[in-house]
Amino acid sequence: MGRQGMSIAHLLRVYEATDATGEPRTDRTLLVWAHGGAFAFGDLDMPEADWVASRFAERGTPVVSIDYRLAGPGTTFPAASDDVLVAWRWAVANAERLGARRIVIGGASAGANIVTGAVLRMLAASTGGVRERMPDAVFLAYPTLHAVQPAPGTDLRAALDANPEADRFGPAAVLEMYENYLGGTVEGAPPAAIPGTATRDELVGFPPTLIVNDDLDELRVSGEAFAAMLADAGVDVTCETEPDVDHGHLNRPDHPAAARTVARVAAWFDDLAAGAPEASAALVPEASAPPTSSTAVPTTDPTEPTPTLT
């Protein structure tokens, strides 16, 4: 069973690649994907989950979409993080069946936070002798990575003031979101829950990362700040911004930015395939400390029932 007695089949929805050529393939990029929703909302049928996964599958990228537990009374960190790690291990065990050589993990908004924290847990576990296949790359769409994020610059502040409907992630709203996720104060929370608090040593070995922020979004400062942290740790990171769009554009398929981002990420996957023909199974460089019990990586049985195939 995957989580609190639930089968892995209830945790995942698998979208097989639909660009059928008549020939079996083994060189695809598999995307393990987590939707957003302020840690407390969202499901596998929202556009940010279903539409995104379907569009990537049409381009030849199979997707494992994660129905992680939502934050609320009795369900706090690390529940969603545990679910992402269980999904990751299922994807690793089943990548060959899905025709994939590379595996990328990604998420949007709060989902981007959860997958980033899961990668940090894998990095930390490696120092304790836990052998774990790391993601070949990480894709973060308009992520929230800081409970207390830097203040927006003058231009962004002016743009948000001019577009008040886009100005919905001020300090109080973001802090409340994280307190709900943690079930209490953000003080002393681990980087796996608030990745923006990670040290340089804790980020060394983080996989190559693409961050796509939204232009009219106060969370943009969090994505930009984390990109700078990754770069300082020697990580190959690309940070881009979708212009003239507010937070959550992948949840609005009719907006041109949604299709642009899918195309942008698909092209990035092609670049990864061209530059890294072999799967990444190696461990990462040593970090500064072994994991504690709160960051232990959960396990799953890859022989459990197959998730829904779409």
pLDDT digits (tens, 9 = 90+) for 180-233: 999 999 999 999 999 999 999 999 999 999 999 999 999 999 999 999 999 999
Instruction: State the fold for domain 8-309.
Output: Rossmann fold (3.40.50)
Positive or negative: CA dihedral 239, 143, 3, 189: positive
- Mean of all residue pLDDT scores within the chain: 88
CB-facing half-sphere around the CA of 71: CA atoms within 13 A: 22
Q: Over 80: is that where the pLDDT of 283 sits?
A: no
Looking at residue 2, its pLDDT comes to 39
Q: How far apart are CA 246 and CA 51, in angstroms?
A: 18
Mean pLDDT along residues 42-46: 98
pLDDT of residue 295: 35
DSSP assignment, residue 84?
A: H
- Helix locations, the chain, DSSP H: 50-58, 79-94, 110-126, 154-162, 171-182, 200-203, 220-232, 256-275
Q: What is the reported pTM?
A: 0.88
Per DSSP, the chain holds a count of helices (H) and strands (E) of 8, 8
Residues 26 and 99: their CA atoms lie apart, in Å, by 4
Q: Is the pLDDT of residue 20 over 90?
A: no
Tokens of 296: 């232990």
Q: Tell me: pLDDT of 114 over 60.
A: yes
